[in-house]
Structure 1
Amino acid sequence: MLRIVRAFWHDQRGIALILVSIMLPAIIGFSLLAIDMSRVNNLHNDLQKGADAFALAAAAELDGSSGSWARAERAMATLVDNETNFSTAGRFTLTSGQPGGTQPCNNAGNISWCFLKAIPDNDGTKITTANQVNYLASANQAVGETETQFIQVTVVPQGFAAIFPVSFLSSDASNSFNVGAVAVAGFTSGVCDFTPVYICNPYENSTDSIYDVAADPAKRRRLIELRQQGGNSAQNSPGNYGFLQPPNASGGASAIRDMIAKTRSQACYNSRGVLLRPGFIATVRDALNVRFDVYNGPMNGNRNDPDYAPGENVRKGYQTQGNACNADAVSPAQPTNFQNLPRDNCFATSCSIANGRVGDGDWNFDQYWNTNFNTTINPVSVPKPIGADGINPASNANQPTRYNVYRYEISKGIVDHPSNGGERGTPACSTNSVSDPDRRLIYGAILNCQALVAAGLMTGGSSSPPLPVEAFGSFFITETVESGPDQTIRVELVDVTGRGGQGTLDNFLRDEVQLYR
């Protein structure tokens, strides 16, 4: 009997069943936890993907123009369709709505959102009810839409019921809790193939904004005198220009000069911040004048290089002296024989905008046309271009922009027509020309220099940190750049990016939408 008891005591068969029986509750519990974790993770992923999709769809409309809030709401309501699973509501689709687009914060369907003008610099800093006022766009819709750069989308928390019996562990615990998601997306605009130039907004603190001017042909024809930062002109004055640090950091004077002179700059800049390249570059005059078929100084050896080709129309009021490359401005002036696109009449007396740096748009079209096309010996057979009224022929009483006249000459094939003095608009010095009517345009970042100086972000031609861009613009160079201490460039505004733009810069734009949080 004792031997049987001892054998039973030492017998280990079936012990696994005992251990499994003891551990079975824990095994089942861990299995339920794993299932719950998978379910809640899938629910959160669905909600987060929905929040991300809503935020990205809305951010694509936040271009700073009027109606952008309403367009953002419409995008969320019509473009996004995200299904979620595993909530207490079962399978359902996240929805939004269009409450009107008039408030910086609103809600509809399963989400709420706020339009933001900024986000915290540190990703670890959350946007909460307490600090939201620091980042929220203005409640004034006109102002708020202009400054909105981001949107924060919050999904209404959804209920989740766990399978694991949490109440078994504690009577105060609950098997149910809520799961939510938040996403922040923003709109970034940049340009590529832009010259490394910035221009202090000529209309900063003016009754006209740069966008008002871009939208009005009568204001676009105002001549603007741009003077190089670092010359004898006042620092950071409206209408000053300077240079941007190229993306590849090759900011030497010769590199900047060549980027300005070439037919394609191949540089990209972001509207959220550009770095300035300080310093005066005397040879910028030579770089810009290649557009007019003028090759002086370091550009002399590039006259037959296609990368430095002149434009299609280089009429500039010059008289050939010996050979085509020795043409020079007529001195003293002979306006009835050689006439470039004239300056605004007020520059002979006193212009009132931007301390005399911006004209009033009143220029002598009749003088230009009669000298170059309505000549006494050989008048052109095409009619005059249309004037500012969009109906009748141009005249001093119905003045077009100089840029429109320049483009009209190209479109009508009269560039080669000789003036009374024999000047033609076709290039004669270089063996190349660019079949691009916009070769006579210079592209630049428009900065609100006075505001940046007041904020301590800009000193002279230097900046720290990268400076925000008000807009990117294109400017038509009306005449060759003169020599002198400020390398003055005389231009007409052609177009700007943003809400007042005419769309001619779309090929340069690189609009990007991205998630930030």
Structure 2
Amino acid sequence: MLRIVRAFWHDQRGLALILFSVTLPAIIGFSLLAIDMSRINNLHNDIQKGTDALALAAAAELNGRTDAWTRAENALGNLISNTTTFSDGGIVALPGSGTTTVDATYPACRSRGQISWCFLASIPANDSALITSANYAASASVTRFIMVAAQPETLTTIFPISFISGNTAANGFTFGAVSVAGFTSGVCNYTPVFMCNPYEMVNGTNSAGGVTLEQAVTDPAVHRRLIELRLVGNNAAYGPGNFGFLQPPDDVGNGAQALAQTIATSTPRGCYSAQGVSTKTGQNNGPVQDAFNVRFGINASGNAFNSPEYGPASNVRKGASTGGNGNGNGNGGGNGNQCPSYNQLTFNATGNMGLPRDATTPYMSGRMGDGNWNMSGYWSTNFGSTSYPSSWDTTKPTRYQVYKYEIANNLVGQASTGGEVGTPPSACQPPVTSVDRRLLYGAILNCNALQAAGNNLSGNSTNLPVEAFASFFMTEPVPGASSGGSVFVELVDITGRGGQSTLDNFLRDEAQLYR
């Protein structure tokens, strides 16, 4: 009997089953916990990816334009709108339906459905520092970032968390996600020039007949309006249609001559951010204005621009008659390797006609035309019976379109009735064909708003937000340096919404996540 008891006591068969039975609850508990943690991690990643995508979509619209908030909200609501099944919440839409609610205390913060967001002018340098109301943006033009938050979602766990916490009401995890994205926009290889927005809205109106900047590049009747850009005197206020200069690259030197060379060159190296540019005033005469005219084969400063990078455009037709040292092509005189000086040219002589100004100038205090220019007179004077597109009879083209048509159809060398041709004088450097030299590139600033905010554009101001970068077509040379003459231009294109994409090669745009 004792032998049987002893054998049973020492028998280890079936011991694993007993141990398994004892540890089974723990194994099941850890398995459920592992499943729950995987579900929690996946859900959190999904919510985070959702806010990341929404923040990036909205940030791509924050280019400093006055309508940036509206476009960002449209991107949030429409660009990547989809339905999700986040945990116990069932099928929900991001960002959700309904209207956008604006925070009464902080207008930069809004919400819609499952999503809330705040427009930010800045973010703390340290990622661990909280974003506060001090970082909120006061307006769209100073907005650089957006913070997007998803409404917290609750995940009911399989593992009974209430058993561990002692709180019978808590049987799940609740969490959301926050993303911060920003947008950097700028241009490179741009000339250091800024123009005060001729179409800037002030209290819902402007001196351009209520036309917006976007309309100015899409509506043919507005697109062909001629604009007179003027410099302002020292300490004078800037208004629509004034222009000035930006800080050139650091390595080009100081002074008027260095600034002039960066304007005159066909290979500018300046890069400028839409979030802020710096002005360079006090250099508004002398060789700086002469720098505009090298594009027309005019060099008033002797050999200051006597190298191939300062060559003229391939079409310099400007209505000039032969001067004292003429070379027979109607473009004035010159000697050696120099282009003719401005004072060697005679403009508007019989038989020669440059691109005419508008018939009347009803806008911007007489400095913006009505778009009605004498296209037929210009054509008959310069090209006689040569035909032009029939569409021009019904919809008058811009001067820039006519200029480009002359080049594309080999009309540059055709002489006007007075003998002028569009071919640059032979005494000049060879024409630059890699870029369109008659186009002037610059930043458009809302000068009224900037000055109302306390910025002194007559000083060397910094971090001025850009409404858009633009290209302008120079229709005629700038009068001599001593006369303080104006620059007559047509607006050709702008960057961003409403633009025609001709400036895309200059753009450096990037939306990125910061948090």
TM-score (normalizing by structure 2): 0.74
Q: Residue 268 in 1 paired to residue 261 in 2? A: no
| 1:294 paired residue among 293, 298, 320 | 298
2:185 to 171, 183, 189: 189
Correspondence for 2:176: 180
Gap change, CA 1:267 and 1:106, over 3 Å in 2:
same
Deviation at 1:361, TM superposition (A): 2.2
Equivalent residue of 1:212, what SS? helix
AA of the residue aligned to 1:499: R
Which of 308, 317, 320 aligns to 1:318? It is 320
Deviation at 1:467, TM superposition (A): 0.7
CA distance in 1, matches of 2:499, 2:366: 25
Cα distance, 1:338–1:392 mapped onto 2, change above 3 Å: closer
Letter in 2 for 1:312: S
Contact 1:318–1:330 (CA under 8 A) maintained in structure 2: no
1:217 matched to 2:214? The reply is: no
> Displacement, 1:42?
7.2
Separation in structure 1 between the aligned mates of residue 229 and residue 388 of structure 2, nearest angstrom: 30
SS at match of 1:462: coil
Name the counterpart of 2:460: 462
CA contact (8 A) 1:70 1:100 kept: no
The separation in 2 between residues aligned to 1:392 and 1:362, in whole angstroms, is 13
Aligned residue for 1:505?
Answer: 503
Shift of 1:125: 4.9
Find the counterpart in structure 2 of residue 493 from structure 1: 491
Q: Distance in 1 between matches of 2:47 and 2:253?
A: 47
Residue correspondences, number: 449
Distance 1:239 1:52 in 2: 41
1:159 deviates by 3.5
Residue 494 of structure 1 aligns to a residue whose secondary structure is strand
Quote the residue 2:8 is aligned against: none
Structure 1 residue 421 corresponds to structure 2 residue 418: yes
- Quote the offset at 1:482 in angstroms: 0.8
Counterpart residue identity of residue 241, structure 2: G
What percent identity do the matched residue pairs reach?
A: 43
Aligned partner of residue 80 in structure 2, secondary structure:
helix
Offset, 1:448: 1.1
The 1:289–1:334 alpha-carbon spacing in structure 2 relative to 1, beyond 3 Å, is: closer
Q: Do 1:58 and 1:73's aligned partners in 2 also have CA atoms closer than 8 Å?
A: no
Measured in 1, the distance between the counterparts of 2:138 and 2:383 equals 57
CA shift, 1:329, in A, is 6.6
Q: Could you tell me how far 1:461 is from its partner in structure 2?
A: 3.9
Amino acid at match of 1:75: L
CA contact (8 A) 1:312 1:437 kept: no
SS in 2 for 1:438: coil
Give the aligned partner of residue 76 of structure 1: 80
Instruction: For 1:429-444, list aligned pairs within 5 A.
Output: 429-436=427-434, 438-444=436-442
Check whether the contact 1:262–1:308 (CA below 8 A) recurs between aligned residues.
yes
Measured on the aligned residues, the alpha-carbon RMSD in Å equals 4.0
Deviations 1:378-421 (A, max 9, x none): x5xx41245xxxx2437xxx642211111111111100011122
CA distance in 2 between counterparts of 1:177 and 1:242 reads: 59
Q: Does 1:343 align with 2:328?
A: no
- Separation in 2 of the partners of 1:221 and 1:195? 23
Closer, same or farther in 2 for the Cα pair 1:443/1:454, shift >3 Å? same
- The offset of 1:49, in angstroms, is 3.8
In structure 1, stretches of 5+ residues that fail to align are 1-27, 138-143
Give the corresponding residue for 1:159: 154
Over residues 432-453 of structure 1, what are the superposed CA-to-partner deviations in whole Å (9 max), with x where a residue is unaligned? 2222562201011111112111
In the alignment, structure 2 segments of 5+ residues that lack a partner are: 1-26, 103-109, 201-205, 328-332, 335-339
Aligned to 1:242: 244
The one-letter code sitting in structure 1 at the alignment partner of 2:509 is D
Q: In structure 2, what is the equivalent of residue 21 of structure 1?
A: none
Q: CA deviation at 1:117?
A: 4.6
2:55 counterpart of 1:55: yes
State the distance in 1 between where 2:449 and 2:433 align: 40
Q: Which residue number corresponds to residue 126 of structure 1?
A: 131
Question: Offset at 1:45?
Answer: 5.1
Task: Give the match for residue 280 of structure 2.
Answer: 277
